[in-house]
Structure 1
């Protein structure tokens, strides 16, 4: 990595949690300059404007979330265990795996009507998450851990939507009561469909 590439990466790493916590609209270049201790000139050498930096920060946050999830899922010994691990990974929204909360929810909620480029980035991650869940469920069915009557695509959507909804409710309320109920419900459903 060149010195310029290192500086650019440093800016993204420092900016990512700020954008994820404050939101794109509320984050200023001054916030980023304060976090990086770089001058405005240095910032604009690497990023044409705040929108370009925001796109890079969104990508970084999404990649960080997926990397952390992937590492946790790798430790699971079966596909049913992977499904339960996925649920547990998102079970404490007030101590999220990425600083500032779930970037899918944070950025998706903010940009759904305002930023088509980031909206597409979020939509892609949502589709990837649902595909991952669907594949895990299909493999659990193939390994006879879950009953064949469980529809992988539909259950993947339900799991994803319930966890994201629980995340929103827990972050707004400041406690995890809603998420605990959601996790319990999902795990009970998995047990009902277990062989």
Structure 2
């Protein structure tokens, strides 16, 4: 990685928690200048606009989130174990976060819904990625004799993802994970119902 690429990456990494916490509209170039200690020319020498920074920041956060998901589930060899590893991770929310400021899918998704079609598309792709990973975990369990063959992995993936995102929102607003723990227990129960 050359000097220009390193500077660009540094700006992205420093801007990520700002956009995730303060939002796109709430984050000014002056905030990025302050966080990076770079001059305005240092920012615009690497990015043509704030919009370009936002898109690159979301790509960076999305890759961090995907990496984290793979890391959390890699510790287990069974599908049930992978789900339990995920549930253990989510039970610690909002304390354990890869990028400060809460869930980037919620933060960027709500803001981009009506104002930024490009960013909305990126958020949609991340949502579908998460759902596909959950569906693959169910399919993996079906292939290995852990789950009933007639369990619809796509419907469960949509349900699980949506329940977790709702619990993340409520946990963030209330500042505790009581609702998250109830959601995780409901998901565990459904997994048990389909286990062999």
* TM-score normalised by structure 1 residue count: 0.96
CA 100–161 in structure 1, closer or farther in 2 if over 3 Å, else same: same
CA RMSD of aligned residues (A): 1.1
5+ residue gaps, structure 2, are none
How far the C-alpha of 1:15 sits from its partner, in A, is: 0.4
Alignment of 1:12-161 (within 5 A): 12-95=12-95, 96-161=97-162
* 1:97 to partner: Cα distance: 3.1
Task: Tell me how far 1:68 sits from its aligned partner.
Answer: 1.3
Q: CA deviation at 1:93?
A: 2.8
Cα-to-partner distance string for 1:25-58 (whole Å, 9 max, x where unaligned): 1011111000000000110000111110011111
Moved over 4 A (4+): none
Contact 1:20 1:106 in 2 (8 A): yes
Q: CA deviation at 1:92?
A: 2.9
Residue 173 (structure 1) shift: 1.1
Contact 2:16 2:99 in 1 (8 A): no
Query: Is 2:75–2:85's contact at 8 Å kept on the other side of the alignment?
Result: no
Question: How far off its partner does 1:149 sit?
Answer: 2.7
Q: TM-score by structure 2 length? A: 0.95
SS of the residue aligned with 2:45?
A: helix
* Deviations 1:84-108 (CA, angstroms, capped at 9, x unpaired): 2233333333212332111111111
Task: In structure 1, list runs of 5 or more residues that go unmatched.
Answer: none
**Greater alpha carbon shift after TM alignment, 29-38 vs 135-144:** 135-144
